[in-house]
Structure 1
Amino acid sequence: MTSTFSNIGVFLVATLGILYLFAVLMRFLLQLARADFYNPISQGIVKVTNPLLLPLRKVVPGLFGVDMASVVLALLVGLVMILVCGAFAGFGLFNPLSALLWSLIGCVATVIAVVFVGMLISIVFSWIAPQSSHPALMLLRQLLEPFCAPVRRLIPPLGVIDISPIFVFILLTVADKLLLGFASMANMPRFVYSLFWHIPGF
């Protein structure tokens, strides 16, 4: 029975934690991409993250136009997920400094996974609904543009076919492999890594 309650605790904390972490990271990425602030999805993300983010901004200033409060909040959410889920799963209390490093790795893995899946969705809808003005697709295009634009400048489209996503996928996969190696060097348990969204492979 105790094991059942522990599993339920891990499930609830990990699910709620990763959903909120996703919202925080999306806000950070959308700000970097200068995406449409008035898009209804952007507004939803703002409303969800404001209660914790606005107080944090009072003590964590921005840096070179980057919202560092979002970065700190994402790390703290990941840290809480790791510590609470570790306790529920019977690992005891992880070293907070190690857990903070693992949180950083998990946040980067989540960003890579979000961009990877976003690219897949964008490619599919570019074929079946290329002219769609749905708010979610418009926001997704804006989010992905900073990742695709540098590659597109180096590798221009072949006629009407944009092959930059292929190379973005390659770069994301390489980044993910490097991150996995770093996670192993940091002695990051598989259980902890599994709490975050990531490209399968660890």
Structure 2
Amino acid sequence: MLYQIATLLLDVIGGLLTGACLLRLYMQWQRVPFSNPVGALVFALTDWFIMPLRRLIPPTGQWDISSLVGGLLVQQVQYGLLWLIAGGAISGAVVPLLAAFGLVRVAISGLIGLLIVHAILSWVQTRSPMSDVIGRLCAPLLRPVQRFVPLVGGLDLSPLVLLVLLQIAMIVLGHLQAAVLTGALQG
């Protein structure tokens, strides 16, 4: 029971910080301005550890590598703490690989959340700074799907198709992670 509670708390805190790091990276890559509520939240959650990292790892072109490294470090700490709490049930050498899986899992979960919010906001037709930011973040993801999925009765089904594809990616990722854990437990 204690392990489950610790896992939940570490998942929430680690997921929030990792997601903020990845959103910071994605917003900078898409050149979405941070002068909006989403950008303010991202800065508030990440500045305290991304800015020192940026002194060590400067941005390269459009890529803020320090945000990516920050997200990976948060996942590393999260899985390291879980490894310690579990009493080293698996080899510690697997922790960095689990952290990488965690980073991808948070990225996919974040994209799913972004698409769901985008779909809901498109139904109510609100014009707010937040809906504009979310629309700009979802557009590059939806464009390739929209080329293959035609409008059905004037309804854009591309978010639904992309959500299904992301869910499939999450299932595949879960199976890969389980295979790594099974191999680590047997080895």
TM bucket (normalised to shorter chain) is 0.7 to 0.9
The whole-number CA distance in structure 2 between the counterparts of 1:35 and 1:65 is 12
Superposed CA RMSD: 2.6
92 and 137 in structure 1: CA distance in 2 versus 1, 3 angstrom threshold: same
Looking at both structures, which has the greater relative contact order when contacts are Cα pairs under 8 Å and sequence separation is at least 6?
1
Residue of 140, 143, 162 corresponding to 1:168:
162
61 and 86 in structure 1: CA distance in 2 versus 1, 3 angstrom threshold: same
The whole-number CA distance in structure 1 between the counterparts of 2:98 and 2:20 is 19
The whole-number CA distance in structure 1 between the counterparts of 2:5 and 2:88 is 17
Q: What TM-score, normalized to structure 1?
A: 0.77
The whole-number CA distance in structure 2 between the counterparts of 1:60 and 1:166 is 37
How far the C-alpha of 1:11 sits from its partner, in A, is 4.7
Aligned pair 1:87/2:81, yes or no? no
Secondary structure in 2 aligned to 1:187? helix
Moved more, 164-173 or 74-83: 164-173
Q: What TM-score, normalized to structure 2?
A: 0.82
Name the structure where helix makes up a greater proportion of residues: 2
CA deviation digits over 1:131-175, x for unaligned, max 9?
x12333222212211210122234343463212112212321232
Structure 1 residues not aligned, in runs of 5+: 190-202
The whole-number CA distance in structure 1 between the counterparts of 2:159 and 2:68 is 26
Secondary structure in 1 aligned to 2:56? coil
Q: 2:83, 2:92 within 8 Å by CA — same for their partners in 1?
A: no
Structure 2 residues not aligned, in runs of 5+: none
Pairs within 5 Å for 1:41-56: 41-56=38-53
How far the C-alpha of 1:86 sits from its partner, in A, is 2.9
How far the C-alpha of 1:85 sits from its partner, in A, is 2.7
Q: How many residues align?
A: 183
Residue of 112, 115, 120 corresponding to 1:124:
120
The whole-number CA distance in structure 1 between the counterparts of 2:150 and 2:141 is 14
68 and 94 in structure 1: CA distance in 2 versus 1, 3 angstrom threshold: farther
The whole-number CA distance in structure 1 between the counterparts of 2:60 and 2:169 is 24
How far the C-alpha of 1:9 sits from its partner, in A, is 4.9
Pairs within 5 Å for 1:12-161: 12-63=9-60, 65-88=62-85, 90-92=86-88, 95-127=91-123, 129-130=124-125, 132-158=126-152, 160-161=154-155
